[in-house]
Structure 1
Amino acid sequence: MGFVSLLDENRVGALVAVLLAALASCIALAVPARAEGDEPYTVANYPVDAVAADAVTAKQKALAEGQQAAFRSLLKRLVPVTAYDQLSRLKSVKATEFLDGVVVRDERTSATQYVATLDFSFQPDAVRNLLTREGVPFTDEQAPQIVIVPVYVPPQPGKGPEPASLSAPRGSQMWKEVWAGLDLKYALTPVKLADVKPELTGDVIQKLINGDGTALSTLKEIYGSSLVVLAVAQPDLAKQRLNVSLAGRDAVGAFVLNRSYRLSLDDVAYTGETAAVISLGIIEGRWKETKVASTSQARGGYGAGAEQVHLIVEFRNMQQWQQLYGWLSRLPGMEGMEVGGLTARSAELVAYYPGGDQALASVLAKQGFDVRQLGGALLISPAL
């Protein structure tokens, strides 16, 4: 009887494995090709882990939680840090409404657990429209690719016993692996990793960390690119910290930045991964702030006669609002349109239009809109 029971369990387990494999294949095939310029809307190498009563439920739970978490990561990728507080308005947004597909890179299952590394792709236009409607500043323009060289420097001798995990070979391997595990291709600042070359001497590294600009030309000669950043990691055993320096030139310009992270000797890789994630976020943040700032400054450079206009747009439902927003944004002469507020039946907009309120009101009236002055704004209602 026990043998039959065990056999049944094995058959069930095999059946579950087949079903999960089939589901993974379907998911992988469900991802459309990315159009040029849409790469940032894929969140790759995303880890998921869930436990449930059975393997199928665990996988469903991992996918549901994973896509929501990946969506939050996507929004933080596109939005500058200075506007993160505005993302609180999007907490109730469901990732399923924006999901384009999922690719399974790696997965492991047991009777009650599902662990995997996944790529989540989201619908670019839908996400852009969401952020625009909510008036959240963002950029999805990728920077030119940069080269990052992970450099590991072992702890200084005489500061205490050196764990084997922090030796030069193992520490260097760890530091390279945590960088390789990041989402480098789809980042706003795409990254190509490079190894430490013999010409990259300790003297050159130290000059770069010290902010010596003369070493930038040396770095360019060594790696054949002007956009090269060293990510130098060195443990401090006495203080139990991992000191990380970013030094070189990215798409924004030359820079040096130093940060320190609490070093867990029991899990050095975890500290290294945290440092690498934050370091990539810093480089992305530099690019985002530059792009968002340049967009804002461009508003002062609109064509001759462009004046700021304030609009209050009335609509019956969100579908009509999306149609109206799209029509207004494509109206010839309309530039720099931003959503200042949004309710269930109306939206406040700020934009620039040649000739200002009067010219815009005339154009809208000819298109059948009901246009009225309300305070300092144009109240716009679509024809019924």
Structure 2
Amino acid sequence: MIARGRKSLGNILKHHTMASGQTVPVLGFIFVVLALWAAMLVPALAQGTADSTPAPSASPVVPAEVIADPFVVHNVPVDVTATSVTEARERGLTQARVTAFRRLIEWMTLRENWAAIATPDTNKVIEMVLEFSVANERSSAVRYLADLTVRFDPVLIRTFLRAQNFPFAETPSRFLVVVPLYQPSAGGAVELWQDANPWRDAWSAILPHDGLVPITLPLGDLQDIAMVSADQAIAKDREALMKLAAKYGAAGVVLARATSTGDTLNIAVTELRPLGDPFEAQLSATVSGADDKARAEAFKTAAIEAMQPVEDHWKKRNTLRFGAGGKLTALISVNSLQEWLGIKARLARVPAVEKVDLEAMSKTLVQAAITFVGDEAQLQFAMSQSDLELSKDGDMWILRAPSLRVQPPATEPPPAAVAPPKP
């Protein structure tokens, strides 16, 4: 690990000067701060109990966006027939956990390396499972059907992948909105919001889509239709498309344009986010089928394939470099203990963050040491996916969580400034 230097401002928080001029070590000071917060809270609760009309509350904390757990695999199908339903269930649950393991490994690694990563024996896979849950169970005398959700042990999965010596990523993206453009024939009109759109139906059929790049589909309501036309989508109108993404709280869009030429679907995929250059890829898929059901299944497979270059692009950008890493000290401005706990919970979800140590705190400032893997740019980007902003001001790192910011009540006096220790 590379130790990062600290600015003298870090020492400001290690001792806080009290009114008497006495300094309090950080641990004792933490208890003082907690006592101050408790002292502020108790009178407010007492007043609320005494008055029949509750006092107006401060602005609520905005909950963090639900970030997918990269080590949970959902909706693994089980369908096994055996000599008895007990045997079918046992075999099915075992096979499903192995299937879930393979899915997880493919989510986290590049497609070009999949064939070289061997699946370990069943017992080793089972050891890497923390827990699993079963839904939609159905059975007969000899057949068992269900859907499994499997949660894997992050430490054991990382150990397995590092032993394979292949790069991998585990930082999940904030979700993207898919805009499915369909051209039934070359030179024909391009469809977007029409009901009879087999390409849109295919994307709908693969939801929910697990992996590091979760996706959703727009509703196609009147607001969506007014916001983005087919012509605007074809022109990759960033302003219009980002408005659509903002409506759904998404990080960006995936434009998926499919042109049908006989039994071949030519697909152009463009990933657009508010900032940065678009990512583009092209591929083709065979969508022939003996009947409508088979053709619909072929379209569904094509939609899954269309997401693959987007996912690989994300993984390359977020590959964890375990040979690099370090430790930095960040200052965090907070208005409440609740806000700090919310930030701490978000940090725990950032894969690049190995450990967070509280070094000092006052009523309005927290100083924390963050140990991480990879480089600082990767850490900043990984944090942004959990709505955390890490920036540098001179030699000092500043961490913010805008959506957790709670303004103090108007009646509360401004917090006292943190004073440096006396020599």
- Scaled by the length of structure 1, what TM-score is found? 0.56
The letter of the residue matching 2:217 is L
- Report the Cα distance in structure 1 between the residues aligned to 2:200 and 2:89, rounded to whole angstroms: 32
Residue 127 (structure 2) pairs with residue 102 (structure 1): no
How far 1:84 moved relative to its partner?
3.1
Match 2:218 to one of 188, 194, 199? 194
- Report the Cα distance in structure 2 between the residues aligned to 1:218 and 1:262, rounded to whole angstroms: 32
Greater CA drift, 195-204 or 281-290:
195-204
Match 1:119 to one of 135, 139, 149? 149
The letter of the residue matching 2:303 is A
- Against the structure 1 CA distance between its residues 150 and 108, is the aligned structure 2 distance closer, same or farther, given a 3 Å change threshold? farther
How far 1:253 moved relative to its partner?
4.5
Residue 245 (structure 2) pairs with residue 245 (structure 1): no
- Report the Cα distance in structure 2 between the residues aligned to 1:109 and 1:173, rounded to whole angstroms: 33
How far 1:193 moved relative to its partner?
2.7
How far 1:91 moved relative to its partner?
6.1
- Against the structure 1 CA distance between its residues 246 and 119, is the aligned structure 2 distance closer, same or farther, given a 3 Å change threshold? same
The letter of the residue matching 1:258 is Q
**SS of alignment partner, residue 318 of structure 2:** helix
The letter of the residue matching 2:312 is G
Q: Deviations over 1:113-138 (max 9, x none)?
A: 32332211111122112223443322
Q: Deviations over 1:33-74 (max 9, x none)?
A: xxx988110111222322212222222222111111110111
Structure-to-structure mapping, 1:51-66, within 5 angstroms? 51-66=81-96
How many residue pairs are counted as aligned between the two chains? 252
- Against the structure 1 CA distance between its residues 91 and 291, is the aligned structure 2 distance closer, same or farther, given a 3 Å change threshold? farther
Partner of 1:221: 243
- Against the structure 1 CA distance between its residues 172 and 85, is the aligned structure 2 distance closer, same or farther, given a 3 Å change threshold? closer
- Report the Cα distance in structure 1 between the residues aligned to 2:196 and 2:310, rounded to whole angstroms: 27
- Scaled by the length of structure 2, what TM-score is found? 0.51
Match 1:295 to one of 321, 324, 330? 321
Q: Tell me if structure 1 keeps the 8 A contact 2:78–2:148.
A: yes
Structure-to-structure mapping, 1:1-384, within 5 angstroms? 39-88=69-118, 90=120, 94-155=124-185, 169=196, 171=198, 174-183=201-210, 187-196=211-220, 197-198=224-225, 199-208=227-236, 215-224=237-246, 227-236=252-261, 238=262, 240-250=263-273, 253-265=277-289, 266=291, 267-292=294-319, 295=321, 299=324
- Against the structure 1 CA distance between its residues 136 and 172, is the aligned structure 2 distance closer, same or farther, given a 3 Å change threshold? closer
Q: What's the C-alpha RMSD, in Å, of the aligned pairs?
A: 3.5
**SS of alignment partner, residue 121 of structure 1:** strand
Q: Tell me if structure 2 keeps the 8 A contact 1:252–1:290.
A: no
Q: Deviations over 1:99-121 (max 9, x none)?
A: 12222333433333323322111
Q: Tell me if structure 2 keeps the 8 A contact 1:155–1:235.
A: yes
- Report the Cα distance in structure 2 between the residues aligned to 1:75 and 1:259, rounded to whole angstroms: 23
Partner of 1:356: none
**SS of alignment partner, residue 73 of structure 1:** helix
Q: Tell me if structure 2 keeps the 8 A contact 1:178–1:272.
A: no
- Report the Cα distance in structure 1 between the residues aligned to 2:298 and 2:187, rounded to whole angstroms: 21
Q: Tell me if structure 2 keeps the 8 A contact 1:50–1:59.
A: yes
Greater CA drift, 193-202 or 279-288:
193-202
Q: Tell me if structure 2 keeps the 8 A contact 1:178–1:269.
A: no
Q: Please, which runs of 5 or more residues in structure 2 have no aligned partner?
A: 1-65, 189-193, 328-353, 356-370, 375-423
Q: Tell me if structure 2 keeps the 8 A contact 1:232–1:246.
A: yes
- Report the Cα distance in structure 2 between the residues aligned to 1:153 and 1:244, rounded to whole angstroms: 10
Q: Tell me if structure 2 keeps the 8 A contact 1:55–1:110.
A: yes
Greater CA drift, 136-145 or 72-81:
136-145
- Report the Cα distance in structure 2 between the residues aligned to 1:140 and 1:42, rounded to whole angstroms: 11
Q: Tell me if structure 2 keeps the 8 A contact 1:107–1:115.
A: yes
How far 1:278 moved relative to its partner?
1.9
Q: Tell me if structure 2 keeps the 8 A contact 1:242–1:262.
A: yes
Q: Deviations over 1:169-194 (max 9, x none)?
A: 262562243232432xxx21232332
Greater CA drift, 87-96 or 97-106:
87-96
Q: Please, which runs of 5 or more residues in structure 1 have no aligned partner?
A: 1-35, 159-166, 209-214, 304-328, 338-384
The letter of the residue matching 2:213 is T
- Report the Cα distance in structure 1 between the residues aligned to 2:245 and 2:197, rounded to whole angstroms: 24
- Report the Cα distance in structure 2 between the residues aligned to 1:84 and 1:38, rounded to whole angstroms: 22
- Report the Cα distance in structure 2 between the residues aligned to 1:63 and 1:194, rounded to whole angstroms: 35
- Against the structure 1 CA distance between its residues 102 and 172, is the aligned structure 2 distance closer, same or farther, given a 3 Å change threshold? same
Identical amino acids, percent of aligned pairs: 24
**SS of alignment partner, residue 235 of structure 2:** helix
